[in-house]
Amino acid sequence: MKIYIFLVVASLTFGFHEKVVSSRNLSPYNAIFNFGDSLSDTGNLLASGALSFPVIGKFPYGQTFFNRSTGRCSDGRLVIDFIAEAYKLQYLLPYLALTKDQNIHPGVNFAVAGATALDTKFFIEAGLGKFLWTNNSLNIQLGWFKKLKPSLCNSKLDCDSYFERSLFVVGEIGGNDYNYAAIAGNITQLQATVPPVVEAIKTAINELIAEGARELLVPGNLPIGCSALYLTLFRSEKKEDYDGNGCLKSFNGFAEYHNKELKLALKTLRQMNPHARILYADYYGAAKRFFHAPGHYGFSSGALRACCGAPGPYNFNISARCGHIGSKVCADPSTHANWDGIHLTEAAYKYIAKGLIYGPFSYPPLKTSPYKIA
C-alpha cells in the first residue's frame, strides 16, 4: 500500500548505468515503464513544480546514494531503481522532466508522488478534495504513456517487438486513496474505497495490454499498520490493538484486504488475457520480514521508528517532518527500515526489490536476471 503519502522525485541517468546499458542484450528486459506514486516516483512531482512537499527536493533526501536530493522520497534508491539495476537498465527518466536529447527507449517513469488510483472527481465528491497533493492520477499517467508511445515505436509490428521485451510496473498505487480517507478520519469511506481502487488498477492494466504490454508487474500494498505515520496518528492505549511486531492490527488487516482483492482481480485479468504475463509483487510479504525481525536484516535501530523526523514514540511528528525545522536525521539510515515516517529507507527498499527479483515475492516469478544487486 502506500501509507506513505507525500512524495516526489527527480532522477537522472548516472555514469554507472551509462556503462552497463550496452550489456542489456543479456537481460530479458530491454525497457521498463513504471506507473505509481511516491514509492516509485523518480522526479515527476518535483518536475511538475508542485510545492506541497518541497523538502524532498532538498537534503537529507537522497543523501545515501546520490549524494544529493533527486525528488525520491527516501535517503537513496527505490525498488524501481533496484529493478533497473538488476536488468542493467538506466534509472528511469521522469516523464515530466524529459528533454529531446534523452534516450527514452530503456524506459520512462510516469509515477507521481501523491498520485491516486482514482481520479480527482472521486475525492471531491467524497469531500476529500482538500487532501489531494496532485491530480496526476493513474489515468493521467496512462494518458502520458499513450502520448509518448509514437516516440517509442512506429508500427504495430515494431511496437509488438519492442514491448515483447518490456516490463510494465503498475504500482504500488492506491495507497494515497486510502491515506486521504484515513487521515480525514473517514473509516467507512476507507473500506468503501477498495473496490473502485482495485477496479481502476484493473482497468489500467487492460488498457496497457491493449496498447501492447505483454509483461506487467503489479505490486500490492505495504503493511501500513507498521508505518510510523499510522502508528502516530492512530496510537492506541489498548495492547490488543497491536501485533507482536508492534504494528496496528486493523490497518495491516486493511492492507491484506486490499491485496486479496487485487490478487483476485489479477486472476480475472490472466483469464481475459492469456497472451500476457501478469505478475503480483508481494510488497506486504517482502516487508513483513524485516518488521518481524529487524535485527536479522541489519536494522539495529528497529523498523518502526523513523530515521529522519522529530522527537516522539516513533520519531515522527506531522508538524516537523523530515527536512522541516525541528527535525533531525539519524547517523546511519541503513540501520533503520523507516526513513521519514511515511516512506522507507534505501536499505529497506533493497530487501523488497531482492525479494521480487530473486524470489519468492513475485507470483509468477520475474524473468531471471543475469546480474546481482550489489
Amino acid, single-letter form, for residue 337: A
The catalytic residue among 137, 340, 362, 369 is 340
Pairing label, strands 362-363, 277-281: antiparallel
Q: Kindly give the residue spans of alpha helices, DSSP state H, lying in the chain.
A: 15-20, 44-47, 79-86, 120-125, 138-148, 156-164, 175-183, 187-210, 228-233, 249-272, 283-292, 346-357
The catalytic residue among 38, 301, 327, 369 is 38
- Catalytic annotation on 334? no
The catalytic residue among 69, 336, 343, 362 is 343
Terminal C-alpha separation, the chain: 26
Lookup: cell for 43:
522526479
- Catalytic annotation on 296? no
Amino acid, single-letter form, for residue 190: L
- Catalytic annotation on 340? yes
Whether the CA torsion 51, 52, 58, 61 is positive or negative: it is negative
Among candidate residues 153, 263, 268, the one with its CA nearest the CA of residue 211: 153
Q: What is the DSSP letter of 60?
A: T
What positions carry a catalytic annotation?
A: 38, 340, 343
